[in-house]
Amino acid sequence: MNQCEVESYTFHLTLVHQAQESLAGALMVAGQLGGGQGERLADAAREAFVSGLSASLVARAVILALGTVGMLLLISNAGTRELGTGKQGERA
């Protein structure tokens, strides 16, 4: 490989790295590519971003729901202890 080929290869690796790092990086590279390739890259980057965002929101909702159930169980148990009931519901 000559110097020009090495620089071109390095430049392309830099573009690939930018496109993989963030949505903004991918859109910047898509703008530099232009044409059909740029449009396809921009569409794929947006789709990947939305897909990742959706997955993280679902995970957060599940964690929030589990936390809510846990807190309700703790509050329920604390209320029972404050009333002074025993295991069979008798007064302590």
- Residue 59 has a pLDDT of 96
Q: Which residues contact 28 (CB under 8 A, 6 or more apart)?
A: 18
pLDDT at 90 over 60: no
Q: What is the pLDDT of residue 4?
A: 66
pTM of the predicted protein model: 0.56
Is 21 within 8 Å of 38 (Cβ atoms)? Answer: no
Asked if the model's pLDDT at residue 85 lies above 70, the reply is: no
pLDDT of residue 17: 72
Q: Is the pLDDT of residue 92 over 70?
A: no
Report the C-alpha gap between 26 and 20 in whole angstroms.
Answer: 7
Say if residue 39's pLDDT is above 90: yes
Q: How far apart are the first and last CA of the chain?
A: 87
Phi, psi torsion values for 34, nearest 5 degrees: 70, 175
pLDDT surpasses 70 at 23: yes
